[in-house]
Amino acid sequence: MTENTDSQLPVILIGAMTRDRVIGQDDHMPWDIPEEYQTFVDSIRGQTVIMGRKSYEIFGADLTSEHTVVISRSRPSLGVLVVSSIEAALEQARSYRKQIFIAGGAQIYRLGLPHADRMYLSEIKKEYDGDSYFPEFDLAEWEITREEDHSKFIYRQWRRKR
């Protein structure tokens, strides 16, 4: 497991999921909760975002990040920096000296989880069908550092235990 020891540059997984870990259905998020989406937009503003190619095609236009790094094997030119592995994405992201957010989707959360120091995760209260899921993580390895109860979601920040 790669640990990020530079506390100035935490690697943060950010996203929203149901209690059943659903994050998407048919290449979109199955809910429309502007207050929740705003937490994403505000967190990444001026920072660095790493995304999978599919998620970039869905959310790229909304990104308020200063730097964006897309992971793809097959699409080198998307009008944004594209790299072919999570390791290359993190190396590039670290060079920008900003907080590093890994913003999905399912494939990229799975690749990013072992590298993550923190997670900013919203739990959507209503259940939805889905075809994309957030990876399971070991609760014993993580602690909640912040929790806010909103009407349609619970927002939590997690930190990996040292």
Please state, in angstroms and rounded to a whole number, the distance separating the CA atoms of residues 89 and 36: 26
How many Å apart are CA 59 and CA 57, to the nearest integer? Answer: 6
**In sequence order, which ranges of the chain are alpha helices (DSSP H)?**
34-44, 53-59, 86-95, 106-112
Q: State the Cα–Cα distance between residues 97 and 79, nearest whole angstrom.
A: 22
Comparison of 84 and 95: residue with beta carbon closer to ligand NAP? 84
In terms of CB distance, is 28 or 97 closer to ligand NAP? 28
Nearer to ligand NAP, 19 or 97 (CB): 19
CB of 162 to ligand NAP, least distance (A): 26
Nearest distance in Å: CB 7, ligand NAP: 25
CB of 154 to ligand NAP, least distance (A): 14
Q: Cβ 72 to ligand NAP, closest distance in Å?
A: 3
**Would you say 52 or 117 has its CB closer to ligand NAP?**
52
Contacts of 76 (CB under 8 A, 6+ apart): 82
Q: How far apart are CA 56 and CA 59, in angstroms?
A: 5
Chain residues binding ligand NAP by CB under 6 A are 15-17, 23-24, 27-29, 52-55, 58, 71-75, 84-85, 103-108, 111, 132
d(CA 162, CA 53): 32
